[in-house]
């Protein structure tokens, strides 16, 4: 998609911008007044949608940056949530184009207000304020004792200025001053953002020590995209799989900078966990099999429905990283105790048996019922009840069938076992409506998805 960003005004563009931008290419008209000395950095930001020109096609590089513009630029660079909303500051109403970015930057502790609680969005941002903002936005930690003649020898401002100087993002004037009260131009601010985002633009920094990792985490999703920068508009350079350990060097907004194939790259922090989740192993038990066909009515045979649904459940669980032990994969007879033993011997932590129901003398009986057995030691009974309930609720909703309830009945496969266990009855083959659903691929898919979601609900509950 080509966005004609040049034809939109700064404010109009922000109004249509909600949370983040898709990858975009840039139209042929460069802004007319980009200074040569900073064109590489400014074009880098333009390509990422961080900088937008004025309607007349200019950048106005010498204009000062207001505090609301600063929050917006940083918010776009870090792909914070820019959706307009109420803010903590009385002088930044929801209707303000910058309200979303100002609140997001405040939430991330990147910006603060004045002692009287206001933000003063129209004030020009000063070089001192900018040092705070940039050091927070890019999580700068290294200091080197950088001193300027017009800055106190210690204090929060001194530390912030030391950090941006040490990182090679900002520096002082040739006369040895920093001039913290001076406002900053659009060109200068752009350079700072570009240097924060991409180390290749850094200048004159004294930070020669290799940066230290701040921690290690684990990938919590089946596929996690790795990108060149802290946002979805940056190029994908690879993927990480569930459980991969990553070393983190810094956090930029919601993103984490990690080491990847000998270089640095970014992943979204929402998909990282402090510790690896326990590997989940579930036994899926397709009821009956072989000479034991189970129930049979309305041309539907129970053992076939059970196996078809069980295999679909297996595929869904395996995709989300759960290991599945099948008690049977084909039309074989296995004893009830043999099913439990197979699950336990293969390290299953949970057992789900899948059946279809029958009520030969009354074809009006219909609906879903799910069983657990409370007659057991330890916490297995309550876990079994929760497992049965999560699956039952998902099934009733997905199958559009009557709920016959979650019931405590000591069926052998869910009773004589150390595992939290549930037995599902998908519906009544003796009821023509239930039977036609259970015989169709469409409804078998729905049942499988529901059982899968119920199992995930259960595991999420266990993990809490």
Q: Residue 134 or residue 354: which is nearer to Zn ion going by CB?
A: 354
- Contact in structure between 5 and 53 (CB atoms under 8 Å): yes
- 287 touches Zn ion (CB under 5 A): yes
Q: Residue 355 or residue 404: which is nearer to Zn ion going by CB?
A: 355
Q: Residue 130 or residue 438: which is nearer to Zn ion going by CB?
A: 438
User: Which residues, other chains included, contact 129 with Cβ-Cβ below 8 Å and sequence gap of 6+?
Assistant: 67, 70
Q: How far is the CB of 302 from Zn ion (least distance, A)?
A: 5
Choices 77-85, 167-175, 202-210, 288-296; region in contact with Zn ion by CB under 5 A: 288-296
- Contact in structure between 334 and 289 (CB atoms under 8 Å): yes
Choices 141-149, 271-279, 284-292, 436-444; region in contact with Zn ion by CB under 5 A: 284-292
Of residues 156-215, those binding Zn ion (CB under 5 A): none
Provide the 10 A C-beta neighbour count for residue 281: 15
Q: How far is the CB of 366 from Zn ion (least distance, A)?
A: 16
Q: How far is the CB of 78 from Zn ion (least distance, A)?
A: 55
- Exposure of 70 by Cβ count < 10 A (0-12 exposed, 13-18 middle, 19+ buried)? buried
Q: Strand 245-252 vs strand 215-219: parallel, antiparallel, or unpaired? A: antiparallel
Q: Distance between alpha carbon 161 and the CA centroid of its chain, in Å?
A: 33
Q: How far is the CB of 106 from Zn ion (least distance, A)?
A: 58
Q: How far is the CB of 424 from Zn ion (least distance, A)?
A: 10
Q: How far is the CB of 440 from Zn ion (least distance, A)?
A: 19
User: How many residues of this chain bind Zn ion (CB under 5 A)?
Assistant: 3
Q: How far is the CB of 21 from Zn ion (least distance, A)?
A: 54
Q: How far is the CB of 356 from Zn ion (least distance, A)?
A: 6
Q: How far is the CB of 390 from Zn ion (least distance, A)?
A: 21
Q: Residue 49 or residue 367: which is nearer to Zn ion going by CB?
A: 367
Q: Residue 355 or residue 386: which is nearer to Zn ion going by CB?
A: 355
Q: Residue 78 or residue 286: which is nearer to Zn ion going by CB?
A: 286
Kindly write out the interface string for residues 239-278 of this chain, putting x where it contacts Zn ion by CB under 5 A and - elsewhere: ----------------------------------------
Q: Residue 76 or residue 355: which is nearer to Zn ion going by CB?
A: 355
Residue nearest to Zn ion (CB): 355
Q: What is the Cα–Cα distance from 146 to 206, expressed in whole angstroms? A: 9
- 48 touches Zn ion (CB under 5 A): no
Q: What is the Cα–Cα distance from 1 to 324, expressed in whole angstroms? A: 42
- CA torsion sign for 384, 390, 391, 396 is positive
Q: Distance between alpha carbon 206 and the CA centroid of its chain, in Å?
A: 35
- 294 touches Zn ion (CB under 5 A): yes
- Contact in structure between 307 and 353 (CB atoms under 8 Å): no
Q: How far is CA 18 from CA 14, 26, 68, 84, 157, in A?
A: 8, 19, 16, 8, 33
Kindly write out the interface string for residues 330-369 of this chain, putting x where it contacts Zn ion by CB under 5 A and - elsewhere: -------------------------x--------------
Q: How far is the CB of 294 from Zn ion (least distance, A)?
A: 4
- Contact in structure between 432 and 438 (CB atoms under 8 Å): no
Choices 293-301, 344-352, 363-371, 430-438; region in contact with Zn ion by CB under 5 A: 293-301
- Exposure of 275 by Cβ count < 10 A (0-12 exposed, 13-18 middle, 19+ buried)? exposed
Q: Residue 51 or residue 326: which is nearer to Zn ion going by CB?
A: 326
Q: Residue 133 or residue 307: which is nearer to Zn ion going by CB?
A: 307
Q: How far is CA 358 from CA 301, 302, 389, 430, in A?
A: 11, 9, 21, 5
Provide the 10 A C-beta neighbour count for residue 87: 23
Q: Residue 59 or residue 435: which is nearer to Zn ion going by CB?
A: 435
Q: What is the Cα–Cα distance from 6 to 13, expressed in whole angstroms? A: 10
Binding site for Zn ion (CB under 5 A): 287, 294, 355
């Amino acid at each position: 998609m080509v966005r004609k960003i040049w034809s939109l005004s700064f404010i109009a563009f922000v109004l249509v911008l909600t949370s983040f931008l898709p990858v975009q290419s840039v139209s042929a008209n460069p802004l007319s007044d980009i200074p040569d000395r900073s064109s590489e950095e400014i074009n880098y930001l333009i390509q990422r949608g961080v900088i937008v020109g004025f309607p007349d096609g200019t950048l106005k590089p010498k204009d000062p940056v207001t505090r609301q513009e600063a929050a917006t630029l940083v918010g776009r660079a870090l792909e914070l949530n820019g959706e307009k909303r109420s803010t903590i500051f009385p002088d930044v109403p929801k209707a303000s184009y910058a309200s979303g970015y100002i609140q997001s930057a405040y939430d991330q502790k990147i910006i603060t207000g004045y002692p009287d609680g206001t933000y003063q969005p129209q004030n020009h941002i000063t070089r001192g304020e900018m040092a705070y903002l940039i050091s927070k936005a890019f999580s700068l930690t290294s200091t080197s004792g950088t001193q300027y003649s017009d800055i106190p020898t210690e204090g929060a401002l001194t530390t912030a200025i030391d950090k941006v100087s040490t990182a090679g993002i900002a520096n002082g004037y040739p006369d040895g001053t920093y001039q913290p009260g001076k406002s900053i131009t659009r060109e200068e601010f752009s350079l700072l953002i570009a240097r924060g985002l991409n180390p290749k633009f850094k200048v004159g920094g004294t930070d020669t020590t290799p940066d230290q990792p701040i921690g290690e985490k684990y990938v919590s999703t089946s596929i996690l995209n790795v990108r060149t920068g802290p946002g979805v508009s940056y190029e994908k350079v690879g993927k990480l799989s569930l459980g991969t350990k990553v070393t983190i060097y810094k956090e930029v907004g919601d993103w984490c900078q990690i080491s990847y194939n000998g270089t640095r790259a970014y992943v979204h922090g929402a998909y990282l966990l402090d510790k690896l989740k326990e590997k989940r192993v579930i036994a899926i038990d397709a009821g009956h099999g072989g000479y034991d066909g189970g129930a049979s009515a309305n041309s539907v045979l129970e053992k076939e429905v059970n196996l078809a649904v069980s295999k679909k459940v297996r595929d869904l669980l395996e995709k989300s990283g759960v290991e599945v032990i099948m008690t049977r994969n084909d039309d074989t007879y296995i004893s009830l105790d043999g099913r439990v033993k197979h699950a336990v011997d293969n390290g299953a932590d949970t057992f789900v048996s899948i059946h279809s129901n029958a009520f030969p003398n009354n074809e009006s009986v219909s609906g879903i019922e799910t069983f657990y057995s409370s007659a057991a030691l330890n916490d297995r009974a309550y876990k079994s009840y929760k497992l049965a309930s999560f699956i039952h609720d998902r099934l009733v909703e997905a199958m559009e069938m009557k709920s016959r309830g979650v019931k405590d009945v000591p069926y052998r496969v869910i009773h004589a076992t150390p595992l939290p266990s549930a037995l599902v009855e998908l519906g009544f083959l003796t009821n023509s409506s239930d039977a036609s659903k259970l015989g169709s691929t469409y409804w078998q898919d729905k049942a499988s998805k529901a059982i899968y979601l119920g199992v995930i609900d259960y595991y999420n509950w266990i993990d809490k």
